[in-house]
Structure 1
Amino acid sequence: MTIAEVSRRYQLSPDTLRYYERIGLIPAVGRTKSGIRDYSESDCNWVEFIKCMRGAGLPIESLVEYVALFVQGDKTIPARKLLLIEQRQKLAQRISEMQGVLARLDTKIEGYDSHLLQAERALVNQDN
C-alpha cells in the first residue's frame, strides 16, 4: 500500500507518517525497488496502533520506547508489558480526572437550566 493510500485510510498526512517512521514510532516500512514506501498489513497495524494510542494521549516518547523494545524481540516482552501497564494507569487516572470535570460541567449546565427555567416562569407570571 502506498503512503497516499495509508494516509487516506488512517487520516494522517504523508508527512506525519514519514515523521513517525523517522523517529521510530513505527518500525521501518518496506520499500519497492524504486525506493517508494510499500506499507504491508503489519505496517498498517502499527499505524493504527500508534494512532489509537496517540488519540488516547499516550506520549510519543513512551510509544517510541515500546516500538524499540518490540523490535528487539520476545526477550523484551516483560518490559513492554510493564510500559503498557504504566501507561494504562496514567490513562485511567486521566479518565477519572476527566469524569470529575464532566460531572462539574453537568452540574454547571443544570444550574443554568434551572436559572433559565426560573427566568421563563418569572416572565410568564409577569405577563399574567
Structure 2
Amino acid sequence: MTENGQYTPGEAAAITGLSLDTLRYYEREALIGPIKRLPGGRRVFHEGDIAWIGVVTCLRDAGLGIADLQRFTALLRSEGTPASRVEFLHERRAALVEHIARMDAALTVLDDKIAYYGAREADAAETIRS
C-alpha cells in the first residue's frame, strides 16, 4: 500500500485476486471506477475501490453477467432508487436459487452414477478373484 491508503494496480490485483487485464476490463465496462489517476496518468486504487471490486467479484460468482453488472452499477450511480436496486437483487437472487437447485440435482445424479459404477467395478473385481 502506498501513502494515504492508495494501492498500485498490481497491489489491487493481488488483493482482489483478479488480473490487471480484468481490472482494466471492468473499468472499461464501467463496472468499477472511475479509478483515480496520479498526475503521471498511473491508476491508483483506494479502499473503496477494492471493496467495490469485491462486490463485483461476488456478483460475478453469483452468475451475473457483464450486462447485469452494468445495469446494477447504473442503478447505483444515478438511474435507480433503493426499491429498484432491491428488486434487481431479488430477481438475481431468485435466479441463483434456481441455479443452485439445478446444480444440486446434477450433483445427486453424479453421486448416484459414481455409486452405481463403483459398485459394478467392485463386483467385477470380485468376480475376477473368484
Map Cα deviations across residues 13-35 of structure 1 (whole Å, 9 max, x no partner). Answer: 21211111111111311222222
When normalised by structure 2's length, the TM-score is 0.88
Q: CA deviation at 1:98?
A: 0.7
The equivalent residue for 1:124 is 129
How far is 1:82 from its partner? Answer: 0.7
Residues 41-120 of structure 1 aligned to structure 2 (within 5 Å): 41-72=47-78, 76-120=81-125
Q: Using the alignment, how far apart are the partners of 2:115 and 2:54 within structure 1?
A: 38
The aligned counterpart of 1:40 is: 46
Q: Is residue 28 of structure 1 aligned with residue 34 of structure 2?
A: yes
> Corresponding residue for 2:8?
2
Q: How many Å apart are 1:120 and its aligned residue?
A: 1.7
Range 80-89 or range 28-37, more displaced? 28-37
Consecutive unaligned residues in structure 1, runs of 5 or more: none
The two structures have a TM-score, normalised by structure 1, of 0.89
Aligned residues: 124
Quote the sequence identity (%): 35
Task: Give the secondary structure class of the aligned counterpart of 2:44.
Answer: coil
